[in-house]
Amino acid sequence: MTRRYSRLARMFGATFAVVAFPIAHVAAQQPSGPIFTHEEVMIPMRDGARLQTVIERPVNMSGPLPILLRRTPYGVPSAPPPFVVPALEQFMTDGYIFVIQNLRGRFKSEGTFLLSSAVDLADKSPKNVNEATDAYDTIDWLVKNVANNNGRVGIYGVSYDGLTAGMTLLMPHPALKAISEQASPADQWMNDDDHRYGALRESYSFEYAVYEQADKFKNTHFDFDVYDSYDWYLKLGPISNINTKYLHGSIPAWNAIVAHPNYDAFNKREAWYTQIKGSTVPNLNVAGFWDQEDPWGPWQIFHQAEKNDPDHTNFMVAGPWYHGSWHTPTNDSIGIIPLGGHKTAREFRENIEAPFFRYYLHGKGSKPTWRAMMFQTGSNTWRTYDSWPVKNATPTNLYLHSDGTLSFDKPATASKAYREYVSDPANPVPYRQRPISPTYPAGDWRRWEVADQRFVDGRPDVLTYTSAPLDRDVTVTGALSATLFASTSGTDADFVVKLIDVYPENAQPNAWNPDIGPEPGAYARSLNGYELPIAMEVRRGRFNQSFETPHALVANAPSEWTIPLREHDHIFLKGHRIMVQVQSTWFPVIDRNPQKFVPSIYEAKASDYVKATQRVYATPALASHITLPVVRQ
């Protein structure tokens, strides 16, 4: 079956990555007349390539205004928008000249689109072009050629548009006065879109590479011949069949992924954020705690810039958001989880984003007094912090026990040292409930990270550890991690760890609630017993010793697995339980590990995929645990 969906027209701040929102959710009052003028220009770059750029001015603009720029691979509007989308409402109040530009090699922009974030700052030749140089050249042209601008430029965007915003930190133009990178990837091998610590995000990487590079003149979705993509990827077999059967080497981004399975020089060059020298321009970093695409990058950019920030202009904001949902109309829930009446997206735009640009581009208002602002889930409150990580968080271990319990007490000598399961690549654990629609443009991809994890209950290849009901609130603010002591009967393995907040059975008085979801027709089920993922991550055994050089595991020998679980601000409420699930497949969002060591999984044969017995230990000497940054109340 071929699945095709309509997409919202790409208009200014409502545009990011390949996130689309149904038109019904972008309700806005129709104006009585035009609200923007529209001009398309081709801006020359230092190597001679010209980039397609649209300039939109509010028709009622008066006096010099700052320029607000967004650089995108997804297309520019062909006409002025007929109404103001929610993401632009606050900007329209303050007044900006909006500029949106197609990246080189996309649509009418000249040059070659490389889908790359590599930058060589040492090479000053005109032929050395990248997103940093193109942004510099664009800003230089705009301030010199756009009439009635006040000489101040801001740049912002989400996902790929966030990447192009963030990369201006490497080579900022003097007129660039404010940046807001939002959900920017930072290192595609280590985390974010394409990998998780070297484990390939198979379905996303493949489908996104096709979307971006199959046709420069449009965004092309891969046509699956079945509805359940889980079934399609399983029948596909080894990763090499993607090129053998379908792409035939035609997608450069995919070719680069499979040609560089390890953290080699190529992949390290793509980790552009490591070249940030400090907070060179005020930057508002924005992340979603349940961002299914780029949850990691904004934190790394923030921490890298934090190393040299004498003027305190490097800020971090995070909230209960999936990818880009802070630009939806309200975001008063995450999945079916209500947020205490807060309209977190609107609150972000009104109280954080707009004031940030207002201060640095208009010179009005005041500089933020905080370094980090979080919407703390559980308590459902906005919190501000003078520093991040916070100073009053104590690393506290939560231990896995061989009887399936979870507690803050370290395991004592037990009759059984471990729990075990058989991992079968021919029957991998799905990452979300089947049938699994294609990543894009289907809508259920956006919220899978908040899905009730009871859908894997009863699978013999998923271990579950559960605490007693909490006798007090447990506040975790900062970086989480897992440490497993585990073994495999094979010579390679993956371990996936999920940290889960389990709601009590009496969480809601009635079994069914009215629709509280953000989409019409998305009926919210009861939260009674709901298993809400707070953090989920995978580690690949071949990279336990070195990301650069993979090593085979020693069969049946327990070893230590350190699994970062990113940064969070959440309260496990009194009466809730904490749960940990452990598994070895997460398909097809993560490719199947053959469980037999091979030089490159991307060249593995079907015969290399074997069953393996996985053991997770819980003894005084091999005490598997989660480390929580607990803040005492």
User: Are the C-beta atoms of 360 and 178 separated by less than 8 Å?
Assistant: yes
469 secondary structure, DSSP code: P
Q: Is the torsion defined by CA of 184, 189, 194, 198 positive or negative?
A: negative
How deeply is 44 buried, as exposed, middle or buried, from its count of CB atoms within 10 A (0-12, 13-18, 19+)? Answer: middle
Start-end of H helices in 472-551: none
User: Distance between CA atoms of 581 and 157, rounded to whole angstroms?
Assistant: 35
- Closest listed residue to residue 585, CA positions, set 488, 503, 501: 488
Higher-confidence residue of 30 and 26: namely 30
User: Distance between CA atoms of 483 and 559, rounded to whole angstroms?
Assistant: 10
359 secondary structure, DSSP code: I
User: Are the C-beta atoms of 394 and 629 separated by less than 8 Å?
Assistant: yes
In the chain, ranges of CATH 3.40.50.1820 domains: 12-186+271-385
User: Distance between CA atoms of 616 and 185, rounded to whole angstroms?
Assistant: 32
Q: Which fold has domain 197-267?
A: alpha-amino acid ester hydrolase ( Helical cap domain) (1.10.3020)
Assigned token pair, 552:
């085979």
User: Distance between CA atoms of 408 and 535, rounded to whole angstroms?
Assistant: 18
Q: Which residue has the tokens 């989880």?
A: 337
User: Distance between CA atoms of 554 and 626, rounded to whole angstroms?
Assistant: 24
User: Distance between CA atoms of 102 and 98, rounded to whole angstroms?
Assistant: 14
User: Distance between CA atoms of 296 and 566, rounded to whole angstroms?
Assistant: 7
Could you tell me the pLDDT band of residue 243, with boundaries at 50, 70 and 90? very high
Strand partners, 270: none
User: Are the C-beta atoms of 487 and 557 separated by less than 8 Å?
Assistant: yes
Residue-by-residue DSSP string for 69-91: EEEESS---SS--SS--GGGHHH
Whether the ω angle into residue 435 lies within 30 degrees of 0, i.e. cis, is: yes
Q: Indicate the class that CATH gives domain 12-186+271-385.
A: alpha beta
Q: Which amino acid is at 226?
A: V
pLDDT at 580 over 50: yes
Q: What is residue 32's predicted lDDT score, i.e. its pLDDT? A: 63
Share above pLDDT 70 across residues of the chain, in percent, rounded to a whole number = 92
- Closest listed residue to residue 325, CA positions, set 1, 630, 6, 25: 25
**In this structure, how many other beta carbons lie within 10 angstroms of the beta carbon of residue 450?**
21
Residue 486: which H helix or E strand, with range?
Answer: strand 474-488
pLDDT at 320 over 50: yes
How deeply is 559 buried, as exposed, middle or buried, from its count of CB atoms within 10 A (0-12, 13-18, 19+)? Answer: middle
192 secondary structure, DSSP code: S
3-state secondary structure of 275: helix
Q: What is residue 249's predicted lDDT score, i.e. its pLDDT? A: 96
- Closest listed residue to residue 560, CA positions, set 482, 633, 471, 506: 482
Q: What is the mean pLDDT of the chain?
A: 91
Q: What is residue 4's predicted lDDT score, i.e. its pLDDT? A: 27
Name the pTM for this structure.
0.93
Summarised one tens digit per residue, pLDDT across range 518-560 is 444 444 468 999 999 999 999 999 999 999 999 999 999 999 9
Mean pLDDT of the region 313-322:
98
In the chain, ranges of CATH 2.60.120.260 domains: 393-631
Mean pLDDT of the region 100-107:
97
Q: Which residue has the tokens 């891969």?
A: 222
- Closest listed residue to residue 181, CA positions, set 160, 206, 197, 150: 160
pLDDT at 206 over 60: yes
Termini Cα distance of the chain = 54
3-state secondary structure of 619: coil
pLDDT at 69 over 80: yes
User: Distance between CA atoms of 384 and 114, rounded to whole angstroms?
Assistant: 39
Q: Which fold has domain 393-631?
A: Jelly Rolls (2.60.120)
Crossing angle between the packed helical segments 229-236 and 202-213, to the nearest 10 degrees:
90
Distances (CA, A) of 396 to 122, 410, 627: 44, 11, 5
In the chain, ranges of CATH 1.10.3020.10 domains: 197-267
Summarised one tens digit per residue, pLDDT across range 345-391 is 999 999 999 999 999 999 999 999 999 999 999 999 999 999 999 99
